[in-house]
Amino acid sequence: MFVGLFIKFGEKENIEQLQKEGLLYCNPIEFFKNCKNKEQLDPNENATKILQGDKCEIILNGFKMSAENGLINTIISAPSKNSQQFTHLYCLFSRFSGDKIETDDERFFDEKLKEFGNTMLVIYNPIEFMKRLKLAIDKAYENKEFIYAESKRVEYVDFNSYHGQLEIFRKSNKYEHQSEWRLAILREDTQQPYKLYLGSLEDISAIMPISKCKNKITSNPDGSCTIEF
């Protein structure tokens, strides 16, 4: 029975290090705002709010701006008491039982994700992975390597209609095919990558070249599904 899994896409050398050492290489937020890889690039990463022009107004020197007189949708990136500003991110593709998978050709993940690299690591025991992650985070806390850390799956919203708070775990639905789980970290050093080691993941994962991946999911008569990598 399919319960859940994580997948990391990347270059062979990096994926092998992830499996052998459990290295979570957390890039600074600015990396994702400016990187060349279009699957990683998000200029609105860590934005705090999106305002729809027809649901708000701005008063500037006594002049009231609204949708009727030219106010357009606005995305705000500024610290606020209701939104935690993180400094580093680590991302994995995630699928769990109950997820609605919409593909035109019965693929388990979107082919665009192959742009991340030539190799994939399938973490087929996400529960054990999360246990090891917690132990590593607790140790890092003790060593004062960062101020705060949080992990969960991303919620995707339509930026053309959504009005309200944004956060590191709420992104535009243009990225929905990435089905992300994220580890977000707040550190004093905002510029350098941060490395978190979980230890070997060899007993709960498998490596595969992207070129050999079948990437197929089929539904069975009994309601279960078959995933072929």
> Residue 201 domain-assigned?
yes
Domain that holds residue 133: 4-46+81-159+169-228
pLDDT of residue 81 exceeding 60, the answer is no
In a domain, 164, yes or no: no
Structural tokens at position 91? 């991302």
For residue 67, being part of any structural domain is answered with no
Residue 140 lies in a domain: yes
The distance of Cα 199 from the centroid of its chain, to the nearest Å, equals 22
The mean pLDDT value of the chain amounts to 84
User: In this structure, is residue 33 part of a structural domain?
Assistant: yes
**96 assigned to some structural domain:** yes
Q: In this structure, is residue 27 part of a structural domain?
A: yes
Q: How confident is the model at residue 77 (pLDDT cuts 50, 70, 90)?
A: low
**How many folded domains does the chain comprise?**
1
- Give CA–CA dist 68/82, Å, rounded: 29
Distance CA 121, CA 210 (A): 10
Kindly report the pTM of this predicted structure.
0.84
Give the mean model confidence (pLDDT) for residues 5-21. 96
Average pLDDT of the segment spanning 140-151: 94
